[in-house]
Amino acid sequence: MQYPATLDAFGRQIAVYEALGQLSPERRSALRNQLFGIQNSQKATVGYRAGLTDSVLMSRKTAWERDFRSRVNANPELRRLYGASWDNITRIRGQMRGVDLRRRYHAFGAYGTRLLGFAGTISRYATEMAKPDSARLMPFRDVMRTRMEQGLYSATPIDTAQEVRLLTAYLTAMARELPATDPVRRQALGTRTPDDAARAMIQGSTILTGDQRRALVQSGAAGVAASTDPFVALARVIDPLERAIATQWTAWVNEESQNDELIARALLAVFGNSVAPDATFSLRITDGEVKRYPMNGTLAPAYTTFYGLYDRAYGFNLQEPWNLTPRWLAARGRLDMATPFNAVSTNDIIGGNSGSPVISRDGEVVGLIFDGNMESSAMRFLFSESVGRAVWVDSRALIEALRRVYDADALANELTRGN
């Protein structure tokens, strides 16, 4: 359920930002990083779903788990301690599926529209601040309150053109998925089309500026309850529904985590140290081999070079997003073009490893992890060295760029101890 819904949301948001980028070069430049981030997440999720729907990969996963469970159940003591964990997780996931659709729309995200997010904060402000600090939702606790209020009262203008398009995309998805009797849909849309509803809500909003939002917060619970702002009115409907789902969801997540721990203990009881435990945010080391892999009917090399960087840029006629900055164009004649730039290896990594050092067998830092290849995305379920690769920037490229592109010899000397 999650991957298709996530990809649908990404697709709608990407379409909005691409359309906005066509309005002017300035908008396109301002939205570049935001659009890239969503596209990058989309690409990763496509890979994840490919793994989940890969019958060969999943049959291997299923066979392994079946063997694991049979070993647990064959031992009376292990069965007593751990045998029910899988069925418990299946039950919990079934309960989650039952509320997943409402959880997506009984919420304040709305594809990142600022006004509904602000309205959610405003609608909850008085209630949360009346509670002891430890009982408040996290954004309202003293440690986070200053940051929350800085965002809420920000003088940054609302981009109404962007808000209309994002909200229209969100309401279009809502109209397709929620029944007409749903209270959130009924409040947001009524009998209007998504586009008409989005435009009317923004035209009628009275929380477009930081000063307006501050004044409404300062009016207290009574003022917020009486507000006719369409986003605040929608937030008042969403608030109790979102709280109820969040409370239940947290309970399910906690229960599932307890069963996850039991399965991890069963794994150690059955296999000992012959298998690696799941990541636990503690220091981990993975072994790997620098190795090319089959790709598109040929082989992907283990290393790219500066030659490839410039070939790709000029191959696309220096057009975005493959163009190079003036500094890099000017440095072309100074670089050793054969210097290894990026490399791949068979290390099993996951999101969060970016920036991890790559250490050679001699204890040297030879690179920094920053990604996996596209083929590795499917392997969040079961890793394989056949095509899955970690991708890292080679230390030699870092030093070459520092010296020849950025004129940072002092830093390069420090990193190489003067060599």
**pLDDT tens digits along 20-67:** 999 999 999 999 999 999 999 999 999 999 999 999 999 999 999 999
Count how many Cα atoms sit within 13 Å of the Cα of residue 120 in the half-sphere of its side chain.
22
**Nearest to 360, CA basis, from 260, 280, 287:** 287
- 121 neighbors 194 (Cβ within 8 angstroms): no
Residue 278's pLDDT is 67
Mean pLDDT across the stretch 233-241? 98
Distance CA 397, CA 303 (A): 11
Residue 91's pLDDT is 98
Q: Which of 87-91, 167-171, 286-290 has the lowest mean pLDDT?
A: 286-290
- 308 neighbors 372 (Cβ within 8 angstroms): no
Residue 383's pLDDT is 86
279 falls in which pLDDT band (50, 70, 90)? Answer: low
388 falls in which pLDDT band (50, 70, 90)? Answer: very high
Sheet of 340-345, strand order: 303-305, 340-345, 390-394, 365-372, 357-359
Q: Which residues contact 369 (CB under 8 A, 6 or more apart)?
A: 347, 349, 353, 354, 355, 356, 357, 358, 390, 391, 392
**What structural domains and CATH numbers belong to the chain?**
2-246 (no CATH), 293-415 (2.40.10)
CA separation, residue 243 to residues 103, 104, 108, 249 (Å): 10, 13, 11, 10
pLDDT surpassing 70 at residue 277: no
**Nearest to 306, CA basis, from 332, 344, 345:** 332
Backbone angles phi, psi at 303, to 5 degrees: -130, 145
User: Given CA atoms 142, 147, 148, 153 in this order, what sign does their dihedral have?
Assistant: positive
Backbone angles phi, psi at 317, to 5 degrees: 55, 35
Residue 320's pLDDT is 85
Three-class DSSP category at 247:
helix
Q: Which of 119-128, 328-337, 374-383, 401-410 has the lowest mean pLDDT?
A: 374-383
Mean pLDDT across the stretch 271-285? 77
Q: For the chain, what percent of residues have pLDDT higher than 90?
A: 90
Count how many Cα atoms sit within 13 Å of the Cα of residue 14 in the half-sphere of its side chain.
14
Distance CA 304, CA 301 (A): 7
Residue 53's pLDDT is 94
276 falls in which pLDDT band (50, 70, 90)? Answer: confident
DSSP annotation of 369? E
List pLDDT tens digits, range 61-90. Answer: 999 999 999 999 999 999 999 999 999 999
Residue 205's pLDDT is 98
